[in-house]
Chain A
Amino acid sequence: MEQPKKVADRYLKQEILGQGTYGVVFKATDTKTGETVAIKKIRLGKHKEGVNITALREIKMLKELKHPHIILLIDAFPHKENLHLVFEFMETDLEGVIRDSNVFLSPADIKSYLLMTLKGLAYCHEKWVLHRDMKPNNLLIGPDGQLKLADFGLARIFGTPDRKFTHQVFARWYRAPELLFGAKQYGAAVDVWAAGCVFAELLLRRPFLQGNSDIDQLSKIFAAFGTPNADQWPDVKNLPDYVEYQFVPAPSLRSLFPSVSEDALDLLSKMFTYDPKARISVKQALEHRYFTSAPSPTDPAKLPKPLRKQDSKASHGKHEGTKVVSPPHKIRRVMPERGKADSIKSHVDKDQQAPMSLDFTVLAERPPNRPTITSADRSHLKRKLDLDF
């Protein structure tokens, strides 16, 4: 057996969990505490602009944010040309839960996941931090079922009057309409919209508003909620990129979510309010009757989880329910790399159906792409992010 490598005299390196845009994430044991951790390794390289700004944002925020529903940053240190960020180890993420058709989510389970999401977000907003990249893939789930907000690389401190921000934030499907119209001054409401999208995704088991361009994203939003009129959103006409859209009437929200409770529907409609000023705040959302009415949210420890690779073997039957599978680079998060072991296995038992967590890069047909901030966007961000004030 290979001798495990110790990093920085403290962390016993284990398997690689994923490959990211800036580097590798690997699993390790913290010899100081005996805990399992995930270490994000960020290449330092010979950058003209020094230490990676996204990594610095993440560090500076997470050093100050300590909450049961925020990912815990344990340590940060440079080591051999890499910056290492040590996080608590998380088993999976909400995207993994949503897309696993073996997982049945009861209304109480959904309520529990949303509750934890909003609690983490409320804490951020209380500390005047905008997350700006809320999506299921950034909501990690620990071995105890606790959900935690992660990836603070786009997070910003807000609250300074008149401070202008870039609107190029969030993965497109989670982007609030004011951002799509180019708003440069915005607040906590952008995170609420995104959290609404996560809520809807939990209910529908597929991304709710899947636009394939910014314009198309707006069309998808209008198709769902109708084109906003001046009564609903008086300021919309003043937004930088505002263009008038052909009028589309709003279908009833009930028709989009036929089987959900009245309370859930009411909360959804408040999280998807057009006017950011009128949109429900996270704090108000937590006080919404949805959270106090029956059923009460599932105890996190009892929430259903996606089948683990090892366990899934026995139960492999037909798996065709996958609606969305992330492109392989999405496996960079602080979680086990799904698929790696499976793809090996699938070569062995050829007659078996491909497990659903298979890495689809090996197939010619690519699964639909879940948009993130693309690398082009990212470089644009690097140059432009929040310089325009």
Chain B
Amino acid sequence: MTASADSAASRSKSILPGILVGGAAVVSLILFAVAPDWARQWPAEQIVPLRDWVTRFFQWLANEASFGLFTVKDLTRLVSDILSGPLTITDGLLHKGFSQFGLAALPWITVVLIMGIVGYAIGGGRLGIATTLGFAYLAVFGMWPDAMKTFSLVLVTVPIAALIGLMLGILATRNQLAERVLSALFDVMQATPHLAYLGPIAIFFGFGAVPRLIATAIFAVPPMARCTILGLRTVAPEIIESGLMSGCTPRQLLWRVQLPAAQRTLLVGLNQVIMQTLAMVVIASLIGASGLGHRLLFSLQQLQMGKAIEYGVAIVVIAILLDRISQALIARNPARAPTEAEKAALLRTSVILGILLASSILVAWLVPAFRLLPKDMTFTTAPYWDQSIRWLSRTLFVYLEFFRDDVTTYILVPIRNLFLSLPWLPTCLLVATAGLLIGGWRLAVTAFLLLGFIAAIGFWVPAMMTLYLTSMAVIICVLLGLPIGICAAHRPRFTRFALALCDTLQTFPSFIYLIPVIMLFRVGDLASIIAIIAYAMVPIIRYTHLGLMRVPANTLEAGIACGCTGRQMLLKVELPQAVPEILLGLTQTITMALFMTSITALIGSRDLGQEILKALPAVDTGRGLLAGLSIAAIGITATRLIETWAVRRKRELGLA
């Protein structure tokens, strides 16, 4: 009785959107056909000259704005000076030395030992060996000074960004207004490609390591702040109550109860900060950070692919090692505090290790090769990489050429023309309708305003180009990533491989993909799309895997008990349950694809990424920033739509 009533109700519910969608489609088709010119192309004379305003505003801010006694620039330079303090120390320790005290930098052998010990202390023997070998790799492959420049920056950036993120996160949990403002700000910050920030940062903070630190922090702060908010919110209420009943003052409650109890989530945030910091290594070298990133770009410009790959690998090595260390920190849960005897043993071990380190310095002083490996003792695999990439491009191109030409002529070019001919008003309305159906009026208005903003500031055409490149890439990412994710969830042996692939693709500096892709596919849309895919496929694989792994065991058993075949299990039991996770992966993939357009612009597409790239040299802050914000607008619209749907779906499945 009730069941049939329910199903009738749900049927009428499912018909209603159907009608709406149909209606919207018809209306928009008509609109597309009959739209007047002003609704197709935002009239050139009506374009809001926001770009110029922003550019001029930044110039004014940088050069003239003042708070009476000092200018904005004085202030930012003061920040630079303060930040460069800790950097002087790490730089001195790792590669510069302290010439004023006549001290040299730590020899490589000592740093390798220290890292090995840190790895061992936190993650045990295997991690200890891994960190030792990893850092030794940097020395043996002759990248030591550059690697240490990068490492020094990472060492300073990570704690600063983590601390700022922590503070903002705490602020957000304390104050509702702050939370709303910050959360909107973080959305925008995370959806805007890094390159777009560099201009303004260079204006305010000059060139060199400090602006790099700031650029990185801008990007690494949001995940940390988000994790802090999440962590503080998810502390069991009883733990907070027990803190209160223990007589904690509000400050004691925060620092001694809530934050330590949220430790794990905070460490996840820290892990994100580390990864983001290393992801910025290459991009930041555009505004003056020396080290591995600079060398990598330099090698690419010189067509020394092999060297670039080695520098890339070095970045990946540092990233993965730091990642593993922070993961080990998260996973650490000793059964009990050390006893007095163990403490004494620990002290003895530390003394021995201290002596070991001291003697390593002594040895290095006696044998210069331990200070810095002389060039003829290092080796390189660069020529092999160069050879193999060229061999690949020679042998594969014959086959790929047809593929490339056909795909370009028959698929990509027509679709691109379609995208480029999309009129702005009907397109915005169509998206707004989708928003209305999924999430209601607010979502619809948000989507309309975000996309309308792009048209109003005159970026509609490059934005459609971006949309075209990213949608093609995202579609292929889903087509490839979904099966890989499914395989990874079903075949444990494949899991490792897939996850390692994800790690590598994500940490490997995306610049490196560009060159072989160009060699194989020539400058063109296909090359851009393929470079985007390489980077953006990671989240969809990860989340598909995660979503399938999270399907409750009893649901699976129920499926098996009902006599499902493997195929039925997948299609009817597992995938529907994993949909919310997969959708989240999709939003991440979209964001990453949008991000990559600022890098694939280096290949030569004429989209928003190109606008950012062009603005950089001309210090046209408005152009770069607004193009970045337009990318953010597309990304936010897409993710809002999908996330809203995912949340709804999750609630329907009773998983939320």
Question: Is B a genuine binding partner of A?
Answer: no
